[in-house]
Structure 1
Amino acid sequence: MFILFFTEEPSAEAALRILAPRMLGEAIEFDVQVFQGKADLLNNLPLRLRALASWMPADWRIVVLVDRDDDDCVALKHHLDQIAREAGLTPKGAGEAGQPFQVLNRLAIEELEAWFLGDLAALRTVYPRIRANLERRERYRDPDTMVGGTWEALERELQRAGYHQGGLPKIEVARRVAAHMQPERNRSRSFQTFYRGLQELITAR
């Protein structure tokens, strides 16, 4: 099996290149194609999927990962699934449970940085001066419900601890934190949905 990831930004690519072998197993090959932002991904995805559908081998799968941002979660997911169907591909959820599908559409809620805040042990390994009681603060108990931007919240906490005073280097943070993440313990529900989807993708074939 070969898995092609589509993502909207280089920081997601950096994280996936480290996390994917851990979630998929070393035997499954993959690649990551990064777009120039969410709008670029959504605008170009129909053409890209139609082109792939015309020649894609039977053992290839596609995973699309985008930030929810301020979009309606259900509407955005429906839109991504519709793009896959119109390209002639089967998205997860279109058939019976446990049946093969070709496209897995998943959202980081509201942004990728929620996944890093969902594994504070990994974050603290890289940035040990982060407040020890952070996970007990109401704002951080559920990183997917954080209001006002997760990357901004992560930047504030890192700067409060004396890191990255000149601004959050997203790619560096993604690469360093992902190296210590353990998928099973992540508190982000959108990360766990992504993780479970990958497990189903490699078993329903």
Structure 2
Amino acid sequence: MAANHLVFLVEEPSMEAFLRELLQRMLPAACTSEVHPFQGKGDLLAKLDARLRAYAQWLPPDWRLFVIVDRDDDDCGELKRRLEAVAERAGLVSRSRAGAGPWQLVNRIAVEELEAWYFGDWEAVKAEYPRVSADVPQRRGLRDPDAILGGTWEAFERVMQTHGYFKEGLPKIDTARRIAAHMSPEANRSPSFQAFRVALADALA
């Protein structure tokens, strides 16, 4: 059954702003959505068990849950196993466990942070911030959006400041909204973004 309503549990307001803008263009008119931000990754992980148990009591068959967290410095596989274990304890069928069958929830990890998804679609960044150089994705250390070392948001802020933006620091929420408005989902080079996009398409299929 195709989803008619999507619920996104995210760790902070910049991902909320990003998704609210992006989903306007990715979801069909008949599909509604809601995005619930937490006060950081620790807050989301601490409250996730209780939140998923509550959803499991009444989740309609045409709803899907998305849990999205940053990898940060965590081991990606271990973090995914932790999220999957929480879903299983709550009695929800995750996309990873369902195989070819129906699922209720999918866990997705931004590697290593939301800003990696910006590096994955530099044309979207350039559309909003035209002074940035087009060759940024070809620079050493920035070619693979999901393998940028030393903190993705810090790397993004440094690049933007080099081109005359954000001298007072990266305004994460406003930037998320602005870049999402220009993003071309299928063209994004970030593997973790593509994993998110594929799961979203699966929910709507």
TM-score (norm 1): 0.96
Residue matched to 1:87? 90
Residue matched to 2:118? 116
The residue type equivalent to 2:35 in the other structure is V
Residue matched to 1:200? 202
Q: Deviations over 1:38-60 (max 9, x none)?
A: 00000000000101111121211
Residue matched to 1:148? 150
Residue matched to 2:28? 25
Report the number of matched residues: 202
User: What pairs with 1:166-205 in structure 2 (closer than 5 Å)?
Assistant: 166-203=168-205
Q: Is the 8 A contact 1:24 1:199 kept in 2?
A: no
The residue type equivalent to 1:171 in the other structure is I
Residue matched to 1:54? 57
Q: Deviations over 1:150-184 (max 9, x none)?
A: 10011001110011100000001000000000101
For structure 1, the 5+ residue unaligned runs are: none
Q: State the percentage of identical aligned residues.
A: 52
Distance 1:90 1:166 in 2: 44
Distance 1:91 1:132 in 2: 39
Residue matched to 2:14? 11
Q: Is the 8 A contact 2:122 2:134 kept in 1?
A: no
Kindly report the root-mean-square deviation, in angstroms, between the aligned alpha carbons of the 2 structures. 0.9
Query: Residues 132 and 58 (structure 1 numbering): CA distance in 2 closer, same or farther, change over 3 Å?
Result: closer
Q: Is the 8 A contact 1:118 1:143 kept in 2?
A: yes
Distance 1:187 1:65 in 2: 18
Distance 1:186 1:132 in 2: 15
C-alpha displacement of 1:132 = 2.7
Secondary structure at 2:99 match in 1? coil
The residue type equivalent to 1:66 in the other structure is V
For structure 2, the 5+ residue unaligned runs are: none
TM-score (norm 2): 0.96
The residue type equivalent to 1:199 in the other structure is A
C-alpha displacement of 1:21 = 3.0
Q: Deviations over 1:71-90 (max 9, x none)?
A: 01011111111101100100
C-alpha displacement of 1:137 = 1.0
Q: Is the 8 A contact 1:113 1:151 kept in 2?
A: yes
